[in-house]
A and B are shown apart, each in its own frame.
Chain A
C-alpha cells in the first residue's frame, strides 16, 4: 500500500518535510515516493500527509491511479474552465 507522485509534481519539498516515514525523496524529473516506506500514513495521521500539503492537483495518486487532489479541488477553478484550458485529467 503506497501512494505515488506523478509528473504534475513541481518539486516543492513540502511533502518531504511532513512525511512521517521519510518515504519521499527528491528526484528528476520529479520527486518520488519509496513504496517500501510509504504506509499511506496509517497509524500516524488520519490523512496522508503528502496529499494534505501538496499544492498541486493531480500530483499524488493512489495505487489505482486515482488522484488524491483531483483537478479543481485545490484552486477552486471550476472543472469546466479547466477542461476548456486542457488542464483536466481523470486519473494518472
Chain B
C-alpha cells in the first residue's frame, strides 16, 4: 500500500509532492478549480498553500474610513477581521503607498500581490483605494491587486473594480440571516443615515450577496471570509458556505473571533467567548470541503509586508523609503526572473511523483492522529518554547495532511531558560506554558527540534507526547514516521465502535 501525502483534490493525487513544503497539502490542492482560476491563484501567497512559501504579499493602509460597525472591532485600532487589532497601521496617502510598494517590490522580488484591506473598509474609501490601484497598474503592471470589503458598497464599485483589473476580491460575510446579523453588526451608514438592528443587517446582507453575484458574473475571483463567533453564527456558517459557493465564491475561509477585553470591542468587553482551536477546525473542515487552501491564513495586519507569517513592515517605513535609491525598471525585470524561476520550480514539483512512503504495516482501519509541529520552512526546526505557532497535521492510513496552524504566546526567554515562562502573570489565570499546552488540545504528539524539561513533563501530563527526535527532517516525513511508530505499538487499532458494527 502506498501512503501518499494527501491532496485535497480527491482521488486523483498523482501530483501530490509537497513533501517538505511545510504546508502538507499537495500542489494540486487547486486541481478542482477551472484552469483560468487556477492560473490566477497558483502564485498567490494567500490562496495557494504552496505559493505562500515562495511569493510575498503586502498590504498598504490607505483606507481608514469605515461604513459599518462590527461587534468584534474597535475603530481605535485596525479592523480586527482583516487585520489584527491592537496595532495601528501606518496610514498612507495613495502617493506614499505607491512609493512604498515600489520600494518593497524592488527589495523583495518575490513580491506578487498588493492588497488593500483597511484599516477601515477599502470601498468606503473609494477615491484613496482606486487611486492607489490605478497608479500601481501604471507603474508596476506585473503586481496583482486584491481588495477586501465588508460588501456594503460593493455593488456600486464592481464596474470600477473590473476596470482596474483587480482580480481578487475578499468579502467578509458572517451571516445570511438578518436576525443573526443584528447580533454582529450594531449599525451601518447607508444612504446618508445611520441604520441599526435587523434592518441594517438586512441591507448589508443584500449588498454582500448582490456584490458577490456581480463579481463572479464578471469572472472576478471572490474569496469569502467569515468570522466564527461561538453562540452567534457557529451553527449558521455551514449554510453561509453553501450559499456563497453556489454563487461562485472560489474559497470560503473561516477565521476565529478575536475578542480580548483589552481591545475594547463589544465582544471583548461583554465576555463573548472565542472559539477553541477544535471548534474552529471542525467548522473549517465542514466549510472548506475540498477547498482547504486557506489553512495557512495568518490574519495579516493591514500594513503587513513579506511572506505570510512574517512581517517586514519595519524595514519599509516612509522615512526609510524616502532615502532609498531604487532602479524601478531593473527591479521589475528582476521580479520577472524571480517569478519565472519560482513558477518553474513549482511546476517541476507538480510534475514529480509524490514523496510516497511505503506502508510498513499500518492497519487500514487505524484511527487518524493529530500532531503539532514546531516547524519552519517545511522542516521540524523550532525549539518548543520558541515556536510562535504550531502547524497541525493529521496522519491517517491515507497519508499526511495539513490541517491548520495554532498561535502560541512565546514564553521562553532563551535557550537555557525554558520553563521560565511557567509562571502565572499577575491577573492571568494560567501560565503561558499552560495556555500553549491548552491550544494543543486534540493533538497527541508535538514534534519540535528541542524541548525543555518542564514543558516535557507538562505535555506528558496533558496526554501529548513530546518528540524531539526528528529535528530538521521534512515535516511530512517526520509526521509519517511518528505515525508508523505509534502504529507499531498497536495503539491505532480501529476503535471498536459497537454502534457502527452492523
A interface list, Cβ under 8 A from B: 10-14, 16-18, 45-47, 49, 52-53, 55-56, 74-77, 81, 85
Hey, which chain A residues are within 8 Å of B124, CB to CB?
A: 14, 17
Query: Does the CB pair A77–B64 fall under 8 Å?
Result: no
Q: Is B316 an interface residue (CB 8 A)?
A: no
Tell me, rounded to whole Å, the shortest Cβ–Cβ distance linking B80 to chain A: 13
Q: A10-B75, A14-B67 are in contact. List 7 more A-B contacts (CB 8 A).
A: A11-B64, A12-B65, A13-B65, A14-B120, A17-B127, A46-B193, A74-B187
A-B contact pairs, 22 of them (CB 8 A): A10-B75, A10-B76, A12-B64, A13-B120, A14-B64, A14-B120, A14-B124, A17-B65, A17-B124, A17-B125, A45-B192, A46-B192, A46-B193, A47-B193, A56-B75, A56-B76, A74-B186, A74-B187, A75-B266, A77-B266, A77-B269, A81-B269
Q: Is B486 an interface residue (CB 8 A)?
A: no
Q: Is B189 an interface residue (CB 8 A)?
A: yes
Interface SS of A by simple majority: loop
Interface flags for B277-301 (1: CB within 8 Å of A; 0: not) read 0000000000000000000000000
State A76–B72 Cα separation when bound (angstroms): 12
Q: In chain B between 313 and 333, which residues have their CB closer than 8 angstroms to a CB of chain A? A: none
CB contact between B189 and one of A10, A11, A53, A81 (< 8 Å): that residue:
A53
Q: Is B139 an interface residue (CB 8 A)?
A: no
Hey, which chain A residues are within 8 Å of B66, CB to CB?
A: 12, 14, 55
**Known interface pairs A75-B186, A76-B266, A77-B266. Does A14 touch B65 (Cβ–Cβ under 8 Å)?**
yes
Hey, which chain B residues are within 8 Å of A12, CB to CB?
A: 64-66, 75, 120
Q: What is the chain A residue whose CB lies nearest that of B270?
A: A77
State A16–B125 Cα separation when bound (angstroms): 11
Hey, which chain A residues are within 8 Å of B367, CB to CB?
A: none
Count of chain B residues near A, Cβ 8 A: 21
CB contact between B69 and one of A47, A55, A85 (< 8 Å): that residue:
A55
**Known interface pairs A47-B192, A75-B266, A77-B266. Does A53 touch B67 (Cβ–Cβ under 8 Å)?**
yes
Interface flags for B184-204 (1: CB within 8 Å of A; 0: not) read 001101001110000000000
Tell me, rounded to whole Å, the shortest Cβ–Cβ distance linking B241 to chain A: 28
Query: Does the CB pair A74–B69 fall under 8 Å?
Result: yes
Query: Does the CB pair A53–B194 fall under 8 Å?
Result: yes
State A52–B124 Cα separation when bound (angstroms): 14
Interface flags for B169-197 (1: CB within 8 Å of A; 0: not) read 00000000000000000110100111000
Q: What is the chain B residue whose CB lies nearest that of A52?
A: B194
Query: Does the CB pair A75–B192 fall under 8 Å?
Result: no
Tell me, rounded to whole Å, the shortest Cβ–Cβ distance linking B427 to chain A: 15
Tell me, rounded to whole Å, the shortest Cβ–Cβ distance linking A87 to chain B: 8
Query: Does the CB pair B192–A49 fall under 8 Å?
Result: yes
Hey, which chain B residues are within 8 Å of A14, CB to CB?
A: 64-67, 120, 124, 189
Hey, which chain B residues are within 8 Å of A74, CB to CB?
A: 69, 186-187
